[in-house]
Structure 1
């Protein structure tokens, strides 16, 4: 018995941990996605090879959705690059007053769920806009919302994915050695010439990589096309999958699997292009103090006001419109001291369905965050400390559920967990368990990558000394690695909790009666035309996220730079 325990918890313990993590990754993402792709490449009902793909490509609805996906994603990239690069230059080139808060606002679309941001813009630009109507700028009554169109989808997705370009550009600016800028200044170059000849060439490769990442994100976006595209009859691949499943149920899963395969191919092509751009265009820079910006001088105040005006339009105005809609008794009623009411909040918060949605989202998000943090520590330790080749491979495969569009992962979960599980004879479809499985498969990288970065910064000597002293694997993980990695893992877990709390893309396909989530409740109410109630739930959800952000930000001041996305620039 002692020998068995030594093998299990000694050197052989690494294999046990690797097997456990491999099983976890398989059931939460890898096996469902593999089954889905095999099905998509299979024959049709007549037995013709690749019949499902052929039928899909021949469909006019698919061709229209594919074209709309391509041009709307490309258009949103243009918006993301213009806004992201512009805001990065505005906050990075000059030491403007309040630029830390401005940087946080530029990153806020990362923290605001897409359906809530879209709902805010709908209320801002609609005929009954509580903000624009008093100014005479709202569309006339009876005219459709201008955002219910392909252009609206492009604009909103561009704003939502703009932080991906902003983060890349700001990081590139900060990585430029201050000595390089100072040398150019000594050589007689002015500020404009330094920006054009030194800073911009070193920043553009990162911007291009961020643009590719934003394209991949746009291809898999569901919330914005669902809220804006479905009413505007602008179909993309993600909404086509949702509408076909919603209309015909799991019976069409083979046909929509082929659509999902095309989505994955587009996203992977963008990510591969990103890797190529980073490898071929990036320029190695010397280490040392990074560039922190030029002095603002007399232009500081006007430039800061212009920056805040842009951020006000992009971020604050839609949120203000959302709050205004939540405070009016009905659409079209002007907001004033006499009309303002909390009745919408009272109605939705007293609704059993909404209460159930909040309870389900809290429970699922908390469970996903805690389990993901635990697995991230084990997986990070395997690859980074134990130097296990299998651990490194599993770390790379852990990205699978995050890289593919959420709609694809949700579809894969339906395919695998629709039928009863072997041995137990119970189906996960229609239960909260299938939502949890999807969350676990999708959000693990949010905590795994910071944990891996922390391991890379940690001195391995302590673990090596413990190994030489004969300390078993379990004790080395629990007594040495876990205490060191716990703060970073907790911060990553909070990010997962905030992301999963208002998640819609996966939940829209997997929810069932009694297992609604906050994101599904908001989408359903807006889809049914109950905009004031949807706005009220959105405001409550945003208040929860804001409280979590402040809590984790206070806690995250002691964490390494880059652990929290809004502290990266």
Structure 2
């Protein structure tokens, strides 16, 4: 909507782009264009050039290899299998949280999303320590398998189960947006006509949710295609290789000499994942525009006397799939070595003292992850403030196109972005002749590219709620852009900026997929340290690192929850899943 000032059309805040440029100058627009060019277009473009440098024949020769075909087959199997499991669990939980009178739905949604926010390698390690004959938790209750029994979580089955559980909240969050868009009068009319709650769900809601169901399935498939942490911990020990872990093994074994082959495989991964991302985005855009309404549904399925049983079942699933594996991780971290039975006599905090204060690798990894994640969060706060300001005033098609480019490095698998960064920085930078390859700066650059879209979303949502009249008055008083951003816009959107910073820090602190290929001696991150400890057979130390990282995730999520009332509606993923505006007291 255009807001006219008393000075006339020259100060129309959301007027034509030429008038805006006359008032603001081209600086913010050029800054946004530079961000998109540097963080999105140049890395992806360099990857494509490297993949086809020798022509299509050379590109196909790399892909037409037995190990690539085998890894492709494994990737598709685990992506389809885990995606199906994630879809089943995510649909059930999304419906239960949205349509039933279940109590404590915010707590349930919070725990579900926490399982998604926890790094994939930590989830894999938790399930690995839970199963098998060496499990301290199973030994405690006398249910451990006989010594020598293979760990059932290692291999294809374990990867599918853990990955499916890890991505189920992603499906639930996607469906929550569709459920929130179903018109409430439609549900109320069906109920007045005598339709039972099951009939409303089966005959009205599910048909309307088909586009969201398909897009959720595609997103789960894409997430499974690019996942590195879970196949690395559960697949590599038994020789089960997917495309991301194949890339890791090639570069770890042969180094930069195989960078051309890695580029070709990266393009293959990007093509598989990109097809799903584009299809899911188109489905969500079309379905959202068709169903969007201001009359949102409220829980209508009265559980009555069945509510205790339903709640016990829901919490039981959460306990088995989220809390029990984390309890196993905690138990493993409290014994002298992995495989020792947990008891009062074996209980020890020595592993925490070792990884937090004594061991150079883990102490350095904590410090590096803290600095890199914190640096990315702080600088992205400034970048997103300027970017959201520009995009909020852009035409809808321009805004959509620009955000799609910004989201590109996050949409492609992290391992693909890492290869792109290696290709981009393996030689000294033009003009200045300085190389950031094998330095912390390459990891920091990758974090900026990967998490730009994550930091931008809440700021854009907050920017859209601002009253333009306040800024219009400042323009009339002669305030410059920098003054308005610092003294007017930033104080109003700061909670969203801070939430974006916390989200970036949370994701970057435990990140492994990107840093697994970009780290060098002295620049190890927490995810790399955990993988190294587990690979060296130091399971108890790895569990202590994982528990510490999980506690940090919990603290940051609680901090964001404290900001919830000052953020736009559904700015936090668990808030969108639980639907706090629809929640009722039991």
Cα distance in 2 for partners of 1:125, 1:293 equals 40
Distance (whole Å) between structure 2 residues aligned to residue 140 and residue 54 of structure 1: 47
SS in 1 for 2:53: coil
In the alignment, which residue of structure 2 is the partner of 1:316?
Answer: 323
Name the structure 1 match of 2:36.
25
- Give the structure 2 partner of residue 486 of structure 1: 494
Tell me by how many angstroms 1:136 deviates. 4.6
- Distance in structure 1 (CA, Å) of the matches to 2:454 and 2:524: 24
Cα distance in 2 for partners of 1:228, 1:401 equals: 26
Q: Determine which of 67, 76, 81 is the counterpart of 2:82.
A: 76
Report the equivalent of 1:104: 110
Q: 1:276, 1:559 → 2: CA distance?
A: 27
- After superposition, the Cα gap between the structure-2 partners of 1:137 and 1:218, relative to the gap in structure 1 and judged at 3 Å, is same
Partner secondary structure for residue 141 of structure 1: coil
The 1-side partners of 2:191 and 2:508 are apart by 48
Residue aligned with 1:166, SS:
helix
Q: Does residue 1:37 correspond to 2:48, yes or no?
A: yes
Q: Does 1:559 align with 2:570?
A: no
Distance 1:216 1:50, change over 3 A: same
Map of 1:119 onto structure 2: 125
Written as runs of structure 1 = structure 2, the 5 A alignment for 1:258-297 is 258-278=264-284, 283-284=290-291, 286-297=293-304
Deviation at 1:431, TM superposition (A): 0.8
- 1:233 corresponds to which of 239, 254, 267: 239
Aligned to 2:202: 196
**Alpha-carbon distance in structure 1 between the residues aligned to 2:359 and 2:34:** 40
Contact 2:126 2:328 in 1 (8 A): yes
Equivalent pair of 1:13/1:474 in contact (CA under 8 Å): no
Indicate conservation of the 8 Å contact 1:410/1:507, yes or no. yes
Give how far 1:498 is off: 0.6
Indicate the residue corresponding to 2:4 in structure 1. none
> In angstroms, what is the RMSD of aligned CA positions?
2.2
- Deviation (angstroms), 1:162: 0.8
Deviation at 1:203, TM superposition (A): 2.9
In structure 1, C-alpha distance between the alignment counterparts of 2:240 and 2:256, rounded to whole Å: 24
Residue 346 of structure 1: which of 326, 346, 353 is its match?
353
Q: Tell me, in whole angstroms, the C-alpha distance in 1 between the residues paired with 2:345 and 2:144.
A: 21
Aligned residues: 557
Pairing 1:206–2:212 present: yes
Cα–Cα, structure 1 residues 551 and 228, in superposed 2: closer, same or farther, change >3 Å? same
2:310 pairs with 293, 300, 303, which one?
303
User: Is the aligned partner of 1:499 residue 2:507?
Assistant: yes
Q: Deviations over 1:519-550 (max 9, x none)?
A: 11111101111100000111111112211221
Offset of residue 255 of structure 1? 0.7
Deviation at 1:95, TM superposition (A): 1.3
Q: Equivalent residue for 2:258?
A: 252
| 8 Å CA contact 2:330, 2:543 repeated in 1 | yes
Q: CA deviation at 1:106?
A: 1.9
User: What is the CA-CA distance between 1:134 and the residue it aligns to?
Assistant: 4.1
Q: Is the 8 A contact 2:75 2:225 kept in 1?
A: yes
Q: In structure 1, what is the equivalent of residue 333 of structure 2?
A: 326
Matches of 1:285 and 1:471, distance apart in 2: 37
Judge conservation of contact 2:530–2:545 (CA < 8 Å) in 1: yes
Q: In the TM superposition, what is the alpha-carbon distance from 1:26 to its structure 2 partner?
A: 2.9
d(CA) in 2 for partners of 1:279, 1:547: 34
Equivalent residues of 2:101, 2:300 under 8 A apart: yes
Deviations 1:149-181 (A, max 9, x none): 112111111111111111122333333333322
Q: What is the CA distance between 1:302 and its match in structure 2? A: 0.7
SS of 2:316's equivalent in the other structure is helix
Change (3 A) 1:79 1:358: same
Q: What does residue range 398-477 of structure 1 map to in structure 2 within 5 Å?
A: 398-467=406-475, 470-477=478-485
Measured in 2, the distance between the counterparts of 1:86 and 1:145 equals 29
Select between 310-319 and 147-156 the one with higher mean Cα deviation. Answer: 147-156
Residues of 2 paired with 1:245 and 1:277: CA distance? Answer: 36
Distance 1:398 1:447 in 2: 11
Give the corresponding residue for 2:172: 166
Q: 1:178 aligns with which of 173, 184, 197?
A: 184
The alpha-carbon deviation at position 474 of structure 1 amounts to: 2.8
Q: What per-residue deviation string (whole Å, max 9, x for no partner) do you get for residues 395-430 of structure 1?
A: 332112111110011111111111122233221011
SS class of match (2:204): helix
Q: Which runs of 5+ in 1 are unaligned?
A: 1-8, 44-48
Structure 2: runs of 5+ lacking an equivalent = 1-19, 578-586
1:528 paired residue number: 536
User: Deviation of residue 20 (structure 1)?
Assistant: 2.8
With 81-90 and 17-26 compared, the bigger mean Cα shift is at: 17-26
Runs of 4+ in 1 over 6 A off after TM superposition: 388-392
SS for the counterpart of 2:553 is: helix
Counterpart CA distance in 2 for 1:452 and 1:279 is 17
Alpha carbons of structure 1 residues 192 and 29: separation in structure 2 relative to 1, 3 Å: closer
Task: Give the equivalent residue in structure 1 for 2:62.
Answer: 56
Name the stretch that deviates more: 490-499 or 458-467: 458-467
Pick closer, same or farther for the CA change 1:13–1:114 going to 2, 3 Å.
Answer: same
From the superposition, tell whether residues 299 and 340 of structure 1 become closer, same or farther in structure 2 (CA, over 3 Å).
same
Partner of 2:342: 335
Is the CA contact (8 Å cut-off) linking 2:362 and 2:526 kept in structure 1?
yes
Cα offsets for 1:257-291 (capped at 9, x unmatched): 00000111111110122134335656525432422
- State the 1:226 CA deviation: 0.7
**What is the CA deviation profile of residues 36-81 of structure 1, one whole-angstrom value per residue up to 9, with x for unaligned ones?**
11110121xxxxx323311122111001111111121011110101
Distance 1:345 1:61, change over 3 A: same
Shift of 1:468: 5.3
